[in-house]
Structure 1
Amino acid sequence: MTRESSLDTRGETFFLNLRFMLIVTVFAANAIEPLIQEMSGLHILYQWIFSFHMPLFVLVTGYFARSSLHGAPGRKVLLQIALQYVIFQSLYSLLDASLFHVNNIQHSFFAPYLLLWFLASHICWRLLMLGMSRWTRSAQLAFAVTAGVAVGYLQLDGIWFSISRTFVYLPFFVIGYHFSFGAFVKLYQRYVKSIAAAASLLLLVAIGLLGADLPMGWLYGSMTYMQLGAHEWYAGLFRLAVYGLQFIASLAFLGLVPYGLSRMTGLGRRTLYVFLLHGFVVRTAVISGLYGYIGNPAGAALLLAGAVGCTVLLAQPAVKRLLNPLVEPSVNWMISLRRAAIRRSL
């Protein structure tokens, strides 16, 4: 095995480990969200998670996208993401209308249902990267940061087409797409990695001490400056400051991620199942009245343990075998129809 292929293998292992750790934080954050206004400890944990988990998830997505961005593989991935979006937007909307009844939800294919913004934005990130493919890396990143700042000035609701989050998180997709694992390993040697891990935990403490007034809307990335109450012409500077916080928090969290192959790595290959299905679990818990029984640290700890356990459960091979047609629907029939249409037009 060459040194380059060895680095690629180690990089894949590292990012699969990271992907699993991130989906744990996604599930945990969504599980504790109904309680963050009542329990300060959960609010602190929620803020800490949001300081890094979406930027890093987008970065990981960009890293894995570079092997399937162009040509036939890229078109197939775009079709599959689009089909996943249609399927789960329909399922979540139908269940919300009949069972969940979540407040402030727009039932439209142009307004992604809660967590499904990521699918809509993923399509856009891939298309944007294709459009920037002839640019230099510096130009791509400069455009991404500029667009991420500029989108906040639009006078519209940022949820439509997931336009706000698409551009706010575009810089992290670009960074992930060009990420050099070799350079990262050289930098994150034993002591640096340990310092970064300690910094991530210190950030959690700092948020607990100083972050009580940290406006979560800035970390969500889904709202324009107008919606955030920042009407000043220089509101974009606040977005740059948030980028700085997210970048530092993300670098620190990477220190917690193991390099080695483990059971976590295998679970990291099936995080899509956790991502698309965990919303059903959380919403079912909410309507069941479960949260009415959680009012102390012990109950909160059990809730978090349950979130971790459900994450592991949904990432099991058996779940993939059972729900593969739903979560990873085949698009070969769409490709065949397209080819047939092209042949008829010739």
Structure 2
Amino acid sequence: MSTTGAATTTAQKRRVPIWDNARWIAITLMVMGHAILKLIAESDVAYEVYLFIYAFHVPLFVAVSGYFAKSGPPGTRQLHRLLTDIVFPYLIFETIWTIVHWLVGGNFWLDYASASWTLWFLIALAIWRITLPYLVLLRYPLTISIILSIGAGYVDSLDSTFALTRTLGLLPFFVFGWHLRQWQLTSRWLALGPGAVWRWRAGAIALFTALAVVIMLNIDRLRELKVRRFLLYDESYGAFGYDQPWAGGIRLGFMLLAFGLIVAFLLLVPRRRTWFTRLGAATMYIYLLHSFVLYPLRETGVLAGPQPAWVLPAMMLLSVGISVVLSLGIVRRLFRPLVEPRARWLFRQEPATLTGTIVLPPREQR
């Protein structure tokens, strides 16, 4: 076996199935939420499904990202990956979306400060990764992040520029994910026997069932209260009519609910390898490419107005299919230069020296 092959095999062995399972399910829920968005205005059932998904799926995806984030001082490798995994893909796909909008009749306006559609997450992720090492130096990083999130909702001047509203609004979930790793959640969970596992899972099922029942019984009231706007974390409270001092308490309530739902979701995720475990390594491809598949359905008006009852389950099944197809090896090989650009030509071959220092040859150092 070659050295490269051995390294690949070793890396695969180090992957924990529960997290690859969680990644793939979480990103599939994201695709599903985007796919049914156009249906929620005319269908209460679609709106119920949408609220159920959005009560936890974006916080979940952020928390999973935080779980694997490094909180130590960033080294050369971490900074390199920040560019290749986040910054370069953002620049590439923001450029592509600008061209797409121009081709369908819009103005050509390349503005990297304003993310197109789903690309806000890459900006937020870059900021979260950069700030986490500083935030965790403080004694209560989760509490501080919650205060920042709630406080940001009162600032009307914050907008989507560099995804600041969502970056601050969803920051607690990134820190929460980091905390889950500090609490050694994975090792403790995997060490439990079947009896204890199913007792915990019964509680998780009860929580999700209660959420679904509450949503179904109060769907008209939830529309009236504009609950969806709270779940997006992308604007100030006053922007959708909540300019009262207690509006932050509502965000706090949804945040605490999402913390519980994140844990409940992870309890229900299969702990062993499944048919979709290997697909969990392709979440970035699903995330960046699914919007191009859904774009024609969302923008052509096909889903506008009242729809037959079968359209909702069809869109949900289509979402699963999109997630599977975009996880395939052929898709990853085809789009790897865009999704995972290495850009080796752009980097120094040797690390730069400290500013103001002179590196002497060995003989002159004696």
TM-score of the aligned structures, taking structure 1 as reference length: 0.87
**Aligned-pair CA distance for 1:238:** 1.8
For the aligned residues, what is the CA RMSD?
2.9
Gap runs ≥5 in structure 1: 1-8
Distance 1:233 1:287 in 2: 38
Stretch of structure 1 that moved more, 91-100 or 30-39? 91-100
Q: What SS does structure 2 have at the residue aligned with 1:226?
A: helix
Question: In the alignment, is the contact (CA less than 8 A) between 1:68 and 1:77 conserved in 2?
Answer: no
CA deviation map 1:145-189 (0-9, x unaligned): 111111112122431111111111111111211312234456872
Pick the aligned partner of 2:334 from 313, 316, 322: 322
Counterpart in the other structure of 2:112: 109
Counterpart in the other structure of 2:204: 196
Question: In the alignment, is the contact (CA less than 8 A) between 2:38 and 2:304 conserved in 1?
Answer: no
Task: Report matched runs for 1:83-162 at 5 Å.
Answer: 83-99=88-104, 108-136=111-139, 139-162=140-163
Question: In the alignment, is the contact (CA less than 8 A) between 2:127 and 2:167 conserved in 1?
Answer: yes
CA distance change for structure 1 residues 333 and 107 in 2, over 3 Å: closer, same or farther?
Answer: closer
Q: What SS does structure 2 have at the residue aligned with 1:269?
A: helix
Q: What SS does structure 2 have at the residue aligned with 1:38?
A: coil
Counterpart in the other structure of 2:10: none
Question: In the alignment, is the contact (CA less than 8 A) between 1:89 and 1:113 conserved in 2?
Answer: yes
Letter in 1 for 2:204: A
Counterpart in the other structure of 2:256: 244
Pairing 1:40–2:24 present: no
Question: In the alignment, is the contact (CA less than 8 A) between 1:23 and 1:271 conserved in 2?
Answer: yes
Q: What SS does structure 2 have at the residue aligned with 1:135?
A: coil
Distance 2:234 2:280 in 1: 26
Q: What SS does structure 2 have at the residue aligned with 1:158?
A: coil
Counterpart in the other structure of 2:303: 291
Gap runs ≥5 in structure 2: 1-12, 359-366
Question: In the alignment, is the contact (CA less than 8 A) between 1:68 and 1:74 conserved in 2?
Answer: no
Counterpart in the other structure of 1:3: none
Counterpart in the other structure of 1:210: 218
Pairing 1:309–2:321 present: yes
Distance 1:333 1:194 in 2: 53
Letter in 2 for 1:114: W
Q: Whose helix fraction is larger, Structure 1's or Structure 2's?
A: 1
Distance 2:76 2:295 in 1: 37
Letter in 2 for 1:269: A
Counterpart in the other structure of 1:169: 170
**Aligned-pair CA distance for 1:218:** 0.5
TM-score of the aligned structures, taking structure 2 as reference length: 0.83
Question: In the alignment, is the contact (CA less than 8 A) between 2:89 and 2:339 conserved in 1?
Answer: yes
**Aligned-pair CA distance for 1:44:** 0.4
Stretch of structure 1 that moved more, 246-255 or 220-229? 246-255
Distance 1:338 1:98 in 2: 42
Distance 1:93 1:338 in 2: 35
Distance 1:33 1:290 in 2: 13
CA distance change for structure 1 residues 238 and 100 in 2, over 3 Å: closer, same or farther?
Answer: farther
Q: What SS does structure 2 have at the residue aligned with 1:227?
A: helix
Distance 2:72 2:331 in 1: 25
**Runs of 4+ residues over 4 Å off in structure 1:** 184-188, 337-346
Stretch of structure 1 that moved more, 296-305 or 55-64? 296-305
CA deviation map 1:64-104 (0-9, x unaligned): 223997312210121121111111111112212322869xx
Stretch of structure 1 that moved more, 245-254 or 27-36? 245-254
Q: Return the index of the structure with the highest Cα Rg.
A: 2
Give the number of aligned pairs. 334
Task: Report matched runs for 1:57-76 at 5 Å.
Answer: 57-66=61-70, 70-76=74-80
CA distance change for structure 1 residues 218 and 289 in 2, over 3 Å: closer, same or farther?
Answer: closer
Task: Report matched runs for 1:216-227 at 5 Å.
Answer: 216-227=228-239
Distance 2:178 2:271 in 1: 19
Distance 2:64 2:73 in 1: 14
